Chains A and B, each alone.
Chain A
């Protein structure tokens, strides 16, 4: 079974600063990897996904993530954070073949200071 860890519960950054949110996964084969964002009181929106191919994935809202197999990581990055990026971010891992129910991390809350 797959699992995912988001080691940071909260991250605080200043507006305009760069951002990196960490995600580590456990899965025996090549995983499907996702980052979702959730604004308060809303559903989750997909930011980006990795299935195969280029390990650097571009997403919406200026986000990108890099799949590093050797480190079992899929960290989310953004070069310059905007106040509107304040939200909860979830990393998820899915299995290729068999059950297609992804496993979600507990989330990282991003706080943006002006």
Chain B
């Protein structure tokens, strides 16, 4: 079955440590996205990538970094520069072009202690 996987489901880290969240898709989608979700704030776009080896900052990119070395993978690193990293992180993908319809992974809940 095609879909998006995110790992791990829950992640705990000490303050000051970098942490990388995994996102893999086998939908053959060109575009991939990372969102952050906090209670009552909906989804906020962190980074997105429309094609391999290219990515763009979203609305809240500060303190985050990404890479897109393969079409299937779009890992997100939460760096120590992110002031309030505890949140629920969602990865999504889409065909790209003129579609807009996104497919979401199950999410990773990051807690920084």
Stretch from B13-21, B68-76, B78-86, B94-102 forming part of the interface with A: B94-102
Please tell me if the beta carbons of B100 and A94 are within 8 angstroms of each other in the complex. Answer: yes
**A residues apposed to B, CB below 8 Å:** 9, 32, 34, 36, 41-46, 49, 90, 92, 94-97, 100-102, 104-107
Task: Name 10 extra pairs, CB < 8 A, besides A43-B106, A97-B98.
Answer: A34-B100, A41-B107, A42-B107, A43-B105, A94-B100, A94-B101, A100-B97, A100-B98, A104-B43, A106-B40
**Chain A residues with CB under 8 A of B109:** 41
Among B4, B42, B96, B98, point to the contact of A104 (Cβ < 8 A): B42
Q: Flag whether B52 is at the interface (Cβ < 8 A).
A: no
A62 to chain B minimum Cβ distance, whole angstroms, is 20
Could you jot down 17 A-B contacts, CB within 8 Å?
A9-B40, A32-B100, A43-B4, A44-B90, A44-B102, A45-B104, A46-B101, A46-B103, A49-B101, A90-B42, A90-B43, A97-B98, A100-B31, A100-B97, A104-B42, A104-B43, A106-B42
**Chain A residues with CB under 8 A of B105:** 43
Give the complex CA separation of A41 and B110 in angstroms.
12
